[in-house]
Structure 1
Amino acid sequence: MKSWPVALLAALISCAAPPAGASDQWVPVRDVSLEVQPGSPLDFSSLLPNTVIDAEHRLVAGPDGRLAFALAPEKPVRMLCASLAWSPASGGFPDHQGADRYARQLAMHGYNIARLHFVDASLMAGREKDFDFDPETLDRVHYLLAALKRNGIYWIIDGLSSPRGAYGGHGDRWDANGDLKLRLHLDDAAFAHWRTLQQKFLARVNPYTGIATIRDDALAVVILANENGIEFDSLVHERPGDPAYREALAAPFNRWLAGRYRTTEALAEAWGDLGAEERLEAGSVRLPANRYEDGPRMRDLQAFFTETEQASAERMSRALRDLGYSGLISTYNNWPTVQTALSRRDLDAVTMNTYHDWVGGYSPGATLTQASSLADGANYMRMIAAARWLGKPFIVSEYDHLFWNRYRYEAGLVMPAYAALQGWDVLCRHGHGPIVLAYGEPYPHKRQMLPYAIALDPVARAGETLAALAFRRGDVATSAVTIPFAVRGAADLGEDMQAREPERLTELALVGRIGLMADERFDGEVGVMQPRAQGARDILDALRGEAVLPSDNRTDSERGLHQSDTGELLLDRRSGQLRLSTPRTEAAAFSSLREPVDLGEMRIEQADGNGLVALSALDAGKALATSRRLLLIFATDAHNTGMVFRDSEEKIIEDFGELPVLIRKGYVDLTLSRSAARWKVSPVGLDGTVYPPVDQGSGPVAFRLSNDTPYGPTTYFLLEVEEG
């Protein structure tokens, strides 16, 4: 965790010029250190204290399927997750001193669990022999785990992230090369390799904790292998001119067909499209030539994938149990299709990854759509909501609304607010790491803001700050309405490999909790049945008829209006707004403001552009109406200095530019419903430093908030109110 000298970086900031023609719109960040100051408004360690990690505080699945501590399984806990996906390009694992500082900072930011991703790649970077872990990296990993535990931060660890596993002699461990993830389903040697990796890493005694990682109370979840569904892995490895599915699947698929149909004649009757050369007895039945060509062949391939994935997950889980692991196990953490939902059915917990405006890489020519997530009704959230199995812990192992999308401020409200509404257990915004200790670290992926690098992005960081309050603190309530989606099993598989729950029905996630439930568990409750012939209005009308949903709920799909059953969330797709009104936090994400937005305690009168505004009480146990200290968040957009695009709409990147980060200037006019003897608004630096007030007064609390302060641009402000 080395940093450039402060004087050097300050010099770079002073001489860096903003993009041509944008000097009046973009302002360079002056902060260099990003370590939150103890006791500052951004230090949440007292507001959100982490517990000691021991046997009584081991995370378990409670009786309702929510994460809880072992000593109180009936009381759910929410976990805000720090994504630790380091590589040499982002600086790798810190040394001991850096790990202590980093773990402490994570706790101060409100994180209470961390996901370690691509540890296998880091351990094997530059190694030529199988399982020949780099000793310094292994030591740093072990020390970091101990430092996290000392700070009350639990662990989620991938059993496998890199498709190269622990094989020696590979220089592309972070790329989508290698076939280990597919072979895990098919090949005893691949399974043996995976099991040995768990023995040599997870089952190894950590010298800094004195216990094997796999037996540690801090290890809450093991993801057997990241994103290892067969269909998704096949899609990732498909190249122009190649078959849709690799030949390694052909023989196992033929054996599976033989077990189901017995004869070629029976198969031909079921499919109706066998080629003359296709004989079940000869094992010559072809895989589908096109993954998007629907038909009975594709339906059976899905059933084969499901049974194969269930069997391999059971086999790998058994191997972990034999090594002494007693925590939660998950896998198949992406791809929200009907097929993969069946594969996840018997797991201890469901883990899912999701992205809005996905970016494929860092090379010139990389593209995104510049679309708002509110315009499609937060579809990236709804997709994974419909992949949840009710009665099991649900963990968002990765999500992001990616840089350089200009609407990414939405993520700081959309995901934590709806995660809380849904009653999800863990929320993890993906990145190399969620924080850095300073701008200017001399590593390729930290020289400028990049996709999947949220730590350098003031907009993403503002969203994570709001997530700590809205989600982890529990400012947003969980829905009292549960809408199950009935699942029969293989009978639900159609002829489309890509089929997932209909968007017209996942809109229900904007109103109440949704998730999958075995058909036989239904007991008269209102739900989405098979086949999926109902519409959202049918379900909502039924809920209103049973007085489960308030009669005054404003949801109207045709108008693009969706209100949560709690009344706290209102999404207006047509205006591009999401509003949140709770006793301790009020917020709005908006693409435009045609008229004032009244959230209850706070009213946004006008704004000069799109952005996120949030107000949260900082006094423990106090609501917005009575708290004397309140945190204001105002996030617009941020670029790197010298960013270049190939198009006027900024969809295609040519050059990501360099530091310093530039924040787009903006203002909002705010009024509060309360009056005060005295009030003042002070800018808060990105490190939590409170600067002298930029506005103050007495009586009605009303002011213009500009993020372009005399002390540099920021996303944070402290509002202090003294009652008369």
Structure 2
Amino acid sequence: MRRPLLVAAAALAAVCSPAQASDQWLAVQEISLEFEAGSPLDFSSFLPNGTIDADHRLVAGAGGRLAFAKSPDKPERMLCASLAWSPASGGFPDHETADRYARQLAMRGYNLARLHFVDGSLMFGRDRDFDFDPETLDRVHYLLAALKKNGIYWMMDGLSSLRGVYGGFDDRWDDGGNLKLELFVDERAFDHWKRMQEMILGRVNPYTGVAPIRDDALAVVILANENGMEFDTVVHDRPGKPPYDPQLAKPFNVWLAKRYGSTEALAKAWPDLRPDETIEARSVALPADRYVPAPRLRDLQAFFTETEEATTARMSEVLRRLGYRGLISNYNNWPTVQASLSRRGLEAVTMNTYHDWVSGYAPGSKTTQVSSIADGVNYIRMIAATRWLDRPFLVSEYDHLFWNRYRYEAGLAMPAYAALQGWDALCRHGHGPIVLSYGEPFPHKKAMLPYAIALDPVARAGETLSALLYRRGDVATSAVTVPFAVRGEEDLSDDMQAREPERLTDLALVGRIGLEDVNRLGDVPAVKQPRQQDSEGILGSLRQSGALSDENGTSIDTGIYQSSTGEILLNRFAGQLRVVTDKTEAAAFSTLREPIDLGLLRVERADGNGLVALSALDADGGLARGRHLLLIFATDAQNTGMAFRDTEEKVIEDFGRLPVRLREGYVDLTLARTAKNWSVSPVGLDGKVHAPVAQGTGDVAFRLSNNGPFGPTTYFLLELR
């Protein structure tokens, strides 16, 4: 019988000191990281990718979930590979490598790939507009074909680089250029974007025989990555410069004239309107400070929303005329109320989110070294509140960034809560989710870096777990939904940073949340406007209505949140997250003052913080009867020679070099099963199974160390016979 998930949870709510971790670091031994077919890490037998054709084109199906065209009532979860290559990370692969790479992605459970900064790669080193590098274009086309052959759909940006495909620039991956803002106010910029779509997406791919824009494999187009008007002005904010680009002044004045009609009417709405500002002369100034709430700022947000909605409609029409039938999205970051209003007309919502954001790779870059569990995985809750409930929702970028020592949390938290919410795609951002080997001769492949997960064994362990928890469906979607009512422009305030309150987004740790038009609300507990309720009141209503069981153990005061499904338990003050399902049991912990009893798996003790997960690999039977179980044990990883400017390792001095080193650690585990014979074998980062390091008969109990005879690893195979 499964032990209750809440056993000892209340006792763990006390503030705990961090677990004492080993100070020993173990150099990774593997060079090749390619799996062979049949490896315990080859998931293609139970996560197969099918043929991509018209019947299997991805559409918005029943309930606004991604589904195949032929089966719209059956939701499909997409595990996404982020392919954000640049010359610094090796660029697009040659044909032979592309075939190997696509096959390895499929083996690891990926069925969607996001191609990011294709425009930058095509124009690298090019001096003339639209003068694409022919070899790069060929490699892009071949890779698309290789992905499709392996049943991997595509999500692509219509624009990634602020330079577009203008010639003569060498800062295509930086914030130089202003094309994203100009798209809204300059016809020449819009025409440039339009021609980009015709020449990149509209050109026939010789390896598929059809242009990507008309290919059934192209599932989602993000019109322009992170291109909200407010966000773009923040990106370009510099000391001594006005916060808003002067080219916005004229269209804003035109908008004000339509809205108010006269200066007299505007003066009644804006107490700070100066005598020299008039609608008639088009001399009304943009806000001088975006962080000082004022009616002027509120109207600018309304102007942004209307402009963004109109521009999305124009850009979408361009794609439709080119023959595109897939989903269109835009404004995939910025969780403000204003941005959510701009997304309300989209066919699909895409969002980016990060925990412990890192500014760059230069010495002096900083991280906070704080746990995401400690703040109730706010980076996940934040985007949960931007979802519109009646359409697909895709996480186009996320990460818990290197070198944060708690980043093992992401591999459990994000896939578990994404599954609970019923999100449609999950894409952990990086230059690529995998590499075929360590030691590639490119600047961004010589050491682990932020925004580059492929070299990081901790991030890779998390992606492996994501394939099981999320894509395989080990974690169920909640039947409880709490809509956040949206009225429209009247929801805007004088504060341009206003977003859904954290005291209400914690409902995402219990059930599904998202935005809903106020006129479409049913007779269910909802978060009304204005946002004066609290989570306790909503939870009380859910319990009273019977939607949430009285046995649900959520206690906001003690920092304990249990999902409505009973499968997920987050304890903020203990720094623990637990997941218990029929096929997977897992725990991420920064403290371990007493054993964690998950049901079948029990973590007796550990010598530091980390992630432990046990998943069934057999086609049926789950953990209770399965004979082949995958153990994941992730601690921390650093580069050799990595150096910091402070003892808390928050400020980087030198990222160091390969080989990657894993922090040595152990956990003592017991399994509430017996077996005639059982064994635990390390599985290398290359997927190879090594000789057992523990074995026995009867009761299953052992110490699991990541310091094996063949080098450190994060994977182990537990076999019961």
TM-score normalised by structure 1 residue count: 0.96
Q: Which residue of 2 aligns with 1:277?
A: 276
Aligned CA RMSD, in angstroms, stands at 0.8
Q: Which residue of 1 aligns with 2:144?
A: 145
Q: 2:85–2:116: 8 Å Cα contact kept in structure 1?
A: yes
Q: Which residue of 2 aligns with 1:430?
A: 429
Q: 2:22–2:663: 8 Å Cα contact kept in structure 1?
A: no
Q: What's the offset of the Cα at 1:173? A: 0.4
Q: What's the offset of the Cα at 1:23? A: 10
Q: Which residue of 2 aligns with 1:550?
A: 549
Q: Which residue of 1 aligns with 2:209?
A: 210
Q: What's the offset of the Cα at 1:524? A: 1.7
- AA aligned to 1:418 is Y
1-structure distance, mates of 2:221, 2:405? 34
2-structure distance, mates of 1:345, 1:647? 45
Partner SS, residue 507 of structure 1: helix
TM-score normalised by structure 2 residue count: 0.97
1-structure distance, mates of 2:59, 2:263? 48
Aligned pairs for 1:668-683 (under 5 A) are 668-683=667-682
Which shows bigger deviation, 32-41 or 80-89?
A: 32-41
Q: Which residue of 1 aligns with 2:15?
A: none
Q: Does 1:711 align with 2:716?
A: no
Q: Which residue of 2 aligns with 1:403?
A: 402
- AA aligned to 2:358 is V
Paired residues in the alignment total 701
Partner SS, residue 74 of structure 2: coil
Identical aligned residues as a percent? 72
Q: Does 1:532 align with 2:521?
A: no
- AA aligned to 2:621 is K
2-structure distance, mates of 1:241, 1:353? 29
2-structure distance, mates of 1:27, 1:673? 31
Q: Which residue of 1 aligns with 2:258?
A: 259
Partner SS, residue 73 of structure 1: strand
Q: Which residue of 2 aligns with 1:621?
A: 620
Partner SS, residue 220 of structure 2: strand
- AA aligned to 1:675 is T
Q: What's the offset of the Cα at 1:622? A: 2.3
Q: Which residue of 2 aligns with 1:696?
A: 695
Unmatched 5+ stretches in structure 1: 1-21
Q: Which residue of 2 aligns with 1:344?
A: 343
Q: 2:22–2:665: 8 Å Cα contact kept in structure 1?
A: no
Deviations 1:626-650 (A, max 9, x none): 1100000000000000000000000
Aligned pairs for 1:558-637 (under 5 A) are 558-637=557-636
1-structure distance, mates of 2:652, 2:444? 16
Q: Which residue of 2 aligns with 1:244?
A: 243
Aligned pairs for 1:215-614 (under 5 A) are 215-614=214-613
- AA aligned to 1:406 is R
Q: Which residue of 2 aligns with 1:178?
A: 177
Partner SS, residue 163 of structure 2: coil
Q: What's the offset of the Cα at 1:276? A: 1.9
Deviations 1:578-617 (A, max 9, x none): 0000000010000010111111110001111000000000
2-structure distance, mates of 1:588, 1:177? 43
2-structure distance, mates of 1:230, 1:164? 16
2-structure distance, mates of 1:636, 1:539? 37
1-structure distance, mates of 2:138, 2:566? 50
2-structure distance, mates of 1:652, 1:272? 45
Q: Which residue of 1 aligns with 2:90?
A: 91
Detail structure 1 runs of 4+ shifted over 6 Å in the superposition: none
- AA aligned to 1:548 is A
Q: Does 1:44 align with 2:43?
A: yes
Q: What's the offset of the Cα at 1:24? A: 5.8
Q: Which has the higher contact order (CA 8 A, sep 6+)?
A: 2
Q: Which residue of 2 aligns with 1:18?
A: none
2-structure distance, mates of 1:396, 1:440? 30
1-structure distance, mates of 2:570, 2:97? 42
1-structure distance, mates of 2:431, 2:255? 40
2-structure distance, mates of 1:269, 1:453? 52
Q: Does 1:645 align with 2:644?
A: yes
- AA aligned to 1:472 is R
Q: Which residue of 1 aligns with 2:61?
A: 62
Q: Which residue of 2 aligns with 1:158?
A: 157
Q: Does 1:200 align with 2:199?
A: yes
Q: Which residue of 1 aligns with 2:13?
A: none
Partner SS, residue 225 of structure 1: coil
2-structure distance, mates of 1:545, 1:98? 58
Q: What's the offset of the Cα at 1:523? A: 2.2
Deviations 1:635-682 (A, max 9, x none): 000000000000000000000000000000000000001011000000
Q: 2:308–2:342: 8 Å Cα contact kept in structure 1?
A: yes
Q: What's the offset of the Cα at 1:548? A: 0.5
Deviations 1:515-540 (A, max 9, x none): 00000001221110000000000100
Q: Which residue of 2 aligns with 1:665?
A: 664
2-structure distance, mates of 1:718, 1:519? 51
2-structure distance, mates of 1:535, 1:381? 19
Q: Which residue of 1 aligns with 2:31?
A: 32
1-structure distance, mates of 2:159, 2:540? 45
2-structure distance, mates of 1:356, 1:103? 28
Partner SS, residue 650 of structure 2: coil
Q: What's the offset of the Cα at 1:271? A: 1.1
2-structure distance, mates of 1:557, 1:241? 44
Partner SS, residue 454 of structure 1: coil
2-structure distance, mates of 1:239, 1:368? 22
Q: What's the offset of the Cα at 1:63? A: 2.1
Deviations 1:47-85 (A, max 9, x none): 210011000000000021000001100000000000000
2-structure distance, mates of 1:56, 1:622? 32
Q: Which residue of 1 aligns with 2:12?
A: none
Deviations 1:287-311 (A, max 9, x none): 1111101011111010000000000
Partner SS, residue 451 of structure 1: coil
- AA aligned to 2:204 is V
- AA aligned to 1:696 is Q
Q: Which residue of 1 aligns with 2:118?
A: 119
1-structure distance, mates of 2:232, 2:36? 44
1-structure distance, mates of 2:59, 2:154? 13
Q: Which residue of 2 aligns with 1:16?
A: none
Q: What's the offset of the Cα at 1:37? A: 1.8
Q: What's the offset of the Cα at 1:621? A: 2.2
